[in-house]
Structure 1
Amino acid sequence: MDITALTFNERDEFKRKSIAEKAISLFQAEIDISPMVIDGSWGTGKTEFCHKLINLMNEQESHHLIYIDAFKADHANEPLMTVLAEVIKILPEDGCKQSFVKKALPAVRYSLKTIAKAGVSHLLRQDAADVFDDFDKQIQQAADKTLDVTVESILKDHVEAEKNLKALQEAMAEIAAEKPIVLFVDELDRCRPNFAVDMLEIIKHTFDVNGLQFVLVTNTQQLKASVNHCYGAAVDAQRYLDKFVKFTLSLPATLNTGEYNEIPASIEHYRNLVNGSPILEELNLGECGTLRTIDTMIAVNRLSLREIETIVRHIEIYVTLTQNGYLKTNSIFGFKMLAAFSIVVYSINPQLALSILNKELDANEIGKVLGKSNLSSDLQGYPDEQELICYMLGITAKYSSDTFKPSEHEADTWKQHGAAYFKGANWRTDDFSKVCSNVINALNMC
């Protein structure tokens, strides 16, 4: 599915339409929120939300909407050109484009003179042809002239810079006066630090124009790392960003399922993907109990939406390679539980998966991915699945085997519980890691 064409009506499994509607109300209000940040960690669905928001705003036809994938433009190393190129695309084909280019050209020429001629030529070869023919020709003429980088020339250019900048801002203000502009800059957190910081500063100092609003779709933590990379660890990156960012919208990591019950959005994503997979639909993974183990691992490890997609892809690969393997509908529950655990480990912690194969398992590492640090001291009833997996794999672990070793008077009880999960199976062993090894080997196509 083309993500750029997605709408909330087609898919809104994380109930984010109301967030988008509130964001739109801010764009339309007389509040200075630009630049605004749509913040989220890696793989939280920021880009999809951005496109759905744009498509929702398009229905109202109240703004010019511009989308920039900053990561794709990163190679050009010239954020001013990147933004202007997209602005030109929204202009009508009458004299408006030529007029804007004429006013913008001096500012662009000044920007080009601050980089080496070789860099300018590379930039023009890569991007100018895609922008606008007349714009291309005029900038090329500027680049073909000898770029005087002496101190005297730079000082003279600087005297003109304010005049050129004002002309560009006036040209932008004329466009925005007819119809406000919202410009979305996505993937800034994936860019080289210098480009990301340059983009921030261009937005702040060049495009501070009435009627023009910027939305940065990014991971704020990564953006802070870019600031520190450029200016040093001693710089307070948060205070630096506070000078640029007016408002931050953080995409929620949880989903309200009704009756004040919230679950991580990633768990809902997992369920939707499993239930919607034609490969997995007949396995009833959401009903056989393995869902509880995977739910816990998703929550404990705070997995992103992209990591969930990787897990489900690996489940599909496993059942395809093994013709369902341990996840068959009629398979013994213990096999299903350990298979689900093994696939998640293979997806999110390859080093742990390798230690299982090499019989160099550290019981503490098992506990970490399952959110357990020890066994219940006074077991009442049945242990939960995660605790039981820690027991099953911990008792034969090469390292830290005492972590999940039951007390002497409860050893038989734990052994009985472990056996109960494999009731009806012909397989008998105390080395439950063999099941995990089989699953991991299958994924490795061994």
Structure 2
Amino acid sequence: MDITALTFNERDEFKRKSIAEKAISLLQAEIDISPMVIDGSWGTGKSEFCHKLINLMNEQESHHLIYIDAFKADHANEPLMTVLAEVIKVLPEDESKQSFVKKALPAVRYGLKTIAKAGVSHLLRQDAADVVDDFDKQIQQAADKTIDATVESILKDHVEAEKNLKALQEAMAEIAAEKPIVLFVDELDRCRPNFAVDMLEIIKHTFDVNGVQFVLVTNTQQLKASVNHCYGAAVDAQRYLDKFIKFRFELSPISESIPKQPQLAALEHFQQLVKSGKQVPDERAEDESLEYLVIKSFIIQQKLSLREIETFYRYLCVANHISPNFFNDDLKGNQLFKITSLMMFCFNPNLLDKIRRREASIIEFSEFIGVRKIDPLFDGKILKSEQLMVVLFVLYDSFHDKEKFVLNEESLKGWNELINQYFDSSISYLEGYKIIEATTEILSLGK
């Protein structure tokens, strides 16, 4: 599905339209909130939200709305060119467009480039005191006979760059006076650190223009890492970003689709994927199904993102396509191991490999599936199905560190009865390994 064409009317399972409406009202208000950041961790649906917001705002026809995929552009290493090229695209084919291009080109071709070649690549980013300090360093390092020429050249380049920059800003202001501009810069957190930081600084120093606003769609934690990569761990990345970001809000991982019963958006996303697709039987997303209970527990304890949910669902579809009987198993224990094997294949292949080599620790396995302890049985019923897998390996296998899970005689009797219910009466720990191996074979497109 083309997410660029999506609207909240077509799909809004996480009830984010009201958030978009409030963001639009801020962009239209006389409040200095640019750059504004739509924050969120990897895979929380930021890009889809961004496109829906743009399409919603487009209905009002009040602004030039420009979308920039920074990740696609970072190979060119020219954030200024990236932004200007997208601005030019929205201008009408008339004299105003030609005029803007003529004013923009010198700022890119001459001013900024010559400063970089002169050895003061960060000149436009720095405060006056920093610029003076850079001059001092260059003067100290230059030979006496070249000092005058070097300083004069740098000053000329700086003056020319400032002149061209001012012309560019005036051209942008003229366009924005007729129709304000909002630029949405997406995927900044996926860019190379240098490009991401350069983009921030270009936005601050070049596009500080009335009527021009920026919305950054990114993960600020990753931006902090980019800042520290460029300027060192000693730099306070949060304070650095505070110089650039005027307002940020975070997309919540919680869905409020059921009043007073908020759940992780990831859970709802998984259910929607299963119900809207045809590859996985619908009942696998029902609350009472064994598979869903295990999947639900895993999603919550691993805090899977929306993108990770889509990955997991895709692997479910692959398994069901390659092996049409993947879900058709009368033994509930087999289903437990199939789903868990698929989870490991997706998210922890190293653990899967260690289990297959019989080198895993029971602690590693139990933590992966979210089992911190073995609960006492209640009227002979299991509280969490995934605990059964841990008990199975504790009882029948030579996993390392089994002493963490100590079972008394009464508990042993109850668990053995459950094992016989979930598997056939001849079950041994080898059956769990057989299922893990078979599932791995399916997902590896083996025999």
Task: Report the TM-score when normalising by structure 2.
Answer: 0.87
Superposed counterparts of 1:51-62, under 5 Å:
51-62=51-62
Please report how far the alpha carbon of residue 397 of structure 1 lies from its aligned counterpart in structure 2 after TM superposition: 4.5
Please report how far the alpha carbon of residue 368 of structure 1 lies from its aligned counterpart in structure 2 after TM superposition: 1.2
Paired position in structure 1 for 2:114 = 113
SS in 2 for 1:217: strand
Paired position in structure 1 for 2:246 = 246
Paired position in structure 2 for 1:135 = none
Structure 1 stretches lacking a partner, 5+ long: 118-148
Please report how far the alpha carbon of residue 445 of structure 1 lies from its aligned counterpart in structure 2 after TM superposition: 3.1
Matches of 1:370 and 1:249, distance apart in 2: 32
Superposed counterparts of 1:18-417, under 5 Å:
18-108=18-108, 109-115=110-116, 151-281=151-281, 284-286=284-286, 287-325=288-326, 327-328=327-328, 331-376=330-375, 378-381=376-379, 382-383=381-382, 384-395=384-395, 396-417=397-418
Please report how far the alpha carbon of residue 305 of structure 1 lies from its aligned counterpart in structure 2 after TM superposition: 1.3
Q: Do residues 419 (structure 1) and 417 (structure 2) align?
A: no
Q: Which moved more, 1:207-216 or 1:358-367?
A: 358-367
What amino acid is aligned across from residue 429 of structure 1 in structure 2?
A: S
Please report how far the alpha carbon of residue 285 of structure 1 lies from its aligned counterpart in structure 2 after TM superposition: 4.7
CA contact (8 A) 2:36 2:245 kept: yes
Matches of 2:53 and 2:361, distance apart in 1: 46
Aligned residue pair count: 410
Distance 1:204 1:385, change over 3 A: same
CA RMSD of aligned residues (A): 2.0
Matches of 1:65 and 1:322, distance apart in 2: 47
Per-residue CA distance 1:179-218 (angstroms, 9 max, x = gap): 1110001111111111110110010011011111100111
CA contact (8 A) 2:340 2:369 kept: no
Please report how far the alpha carbon of residue 175 of structure 1 lies from its aligned counterpart in structure 2 after TM superposition: 0.7
Please report how far the alpha carbon of residue 151 of structure 1 lies from its aligned counterpart in structure 2 after TM superposition: 5.0
SS in 1 for 2:15: coil
What amino acid is aligned across from residue 438 of structure 2 in structure 1?
A: N
Matches of 2:285 and 2:335, distance apart in 1: 9
Q: Which moved more, 1:166-175 or 1:385-394?
A: 385-394
Structure 2 stretches lacking a partner, 5+ long: 119-148
Matches of 2:27 and 2:163, distance apart in 1: 30
Q: Which moved more, 1:65-74 or 1:149-158?
A: 149-158
What amino acid is aligned across from residue 311 of structure 1 in structure 2?
A: F
Q: Which moved more, 1:413-422 or 1:237-246?
A: 413-422
Per-residue CA distance 1:289-328 (angstroms, 9 max, x = gap): 2101001101111111121111111111112222223x11
Per-residue CA distance 1:79-125 (angstroms, 9 max, x = gap): 111111111111111110121122223322211224469xxxxxxxx
Matches of 1:297 and 1:439, distance apart in 2: 18
Matches of 2:283 and 2:399, distance apart in 1: 34
What amino acid is aligned across from residue 323 of structure 1 in structure 2?
A: P
Distance 1:430 1:231, change over 3 A: closer
CA contact (8 A) 1:182 1:214 kept: yes
Matches of 1:441 and 1:400, distance apart in 2: 28
What amino acid is aligned across from residue 367 of structure 1 in structure 2?
A: S
What amino acid is aligned across from residue 261 of structure 1 in structure 2?
A: Q
